[in-house]
A and B are shown apart, each in its own frame.
Chain A
Amino acid sequence: MFDQLSLNILDIGMNSLAAGATVVRITVIEDVPHDQLLIRIRDNGRGMDEKTLRDVLAKNASTKAGRKKPIGLGLALLRQTSEMCDGAFRIQSAPGKGTGVTASMRLSHVDRPPLGDLNATIFALCAVNQDADVQLHYRSGDQKFHFSSQEGKHNEPRRTQETQGKGAAAGCAA
């Protein structure tokens, strides 16, 4: 059991990276007026087929059943926390289409773990795979921001390509 939701997020984010994702988008919304906390982890990894999906949702899913697939207790733990805190848990996945995990909770629920150190989670994911784009979309009341670990990098190659394209057309080396 995790004492911080940011550890659940790290756990599932690690699954995403293990599934070969190049983009992991983490969304955290604290909606105080509606007393809701929403956590979503969406990736573009290899995804899971229906059977695997059924397996990971089964409460006794085990890592031993299929070590090569991202099966384990991680999803079951988040689901349990979410359901315990009057929330809902949903997972969508298809081979080649990536995986999306959404967990909601009642923000004020007495059993709801704190978010904890979300920064450390993002840091760890960035450190594990620095080629992947780890994104955090965070909103809480008036505070709102988007973070992308590839922010600078994404723009650069695009700009380089344009420059090269124009350069080639003009017949000069970029």
Chain B
Amino acid sequence: MNLDELKKLKEKAQRQVALREGNKKYRVVFSMGTSGIAAGAREIMTAMLDEIDKRGIENVEVAVTGEIGLVDAEPVIRIEDRSGEKVTYANVNADAARKIVAEHLQKGKVVDGLAVGKTKEAERTK
């Protein structure tokens, strides 16, 4: 660990989080309470921000929440869109996190195997 590396990381964080300003299409909420962190939320967040950056996706804002009561399903992330549709992904690992960026945030497709609960859209199509 050294200062130069940290400074680069800071710039990266600021560049990525600059995306947060304004009315974005998607809002990604990370569960970063004690249980989330213990389950690996920090690595999930790092992977997702990295993937968002790599793909140059700009229509996303990032937020965090504390414990949400899904302790055994952590790491958990929730993606909300402007219409109020919320999709929760549970037991996310780094690969899944990157897939969610590629499918959901870039193409607008919910990643079926990873999403938990029912989305409003899924209920409508039934």
Contact = CB atoms under 8 A, between A and B. Distances in A.
Contact of A126 (B2, B3, B10, B20): B10
Given A10-B37, A72-B33, A127-B62, A120 B7 contact: no
A7 B34 CA distance: 9
Interface in A121-160: 121-124, 126-128, 130, 136, 138, 145, 147, 149
B7 A123 contact: no
A84 interface: no
Contact of B16 (A10, A127, A138, A149): A127
A5 to B, nearest CB: 12
A149 B10 contact: yes
B116 interface: no
A120 B64 contact: no
Question: Interface residues of B: mostly helix, strand, loop or mixed?
Answer: helix
Q: What bracket does the count of chain B residues touching chain A fall in?
A: 20 to 34
B87 interface: no
B119 interface: no
A147 to B, nearest CB: 5
A92 interface: no
Given A127-B16, A147-B7, A14 B64 contact: yes
Interface residues of A, number: 30
Contacts of A10: 32, 37, 42
Contact of B37 (A11, A122, A127, A136): A11
B38 A14 contact: no
Contact of A128 (B1, B3, B32, B46): B32
B13 interface: yes
A47 interface: no
A74 B34 contact: yes
B17 A130 contact: yes
A120 B5 CA distance: 11
B10 A72 contact: no
Nearest to A70: B66
Nearest to A148: B10
Interface of A: 1-2, 7, 10-11, 14, 18, 63, 67, 72-74, 77, 117-124, 126-128, 130, 136, 138, 145, 147, 149
Given A120-B43, A123-B9, A127-B62, 20 more contacts: A7-B37, A10-B32, A10-B37, A14-B33, A18-B66, A63-B66, A73-B34, A119-B5, A119-B9, A120-B42, A122-B9, A124-B42, A126-B10, A126-B14, A127-B49, A128-B32, A128-B62, A130-B13, A145-B3, A149-B10
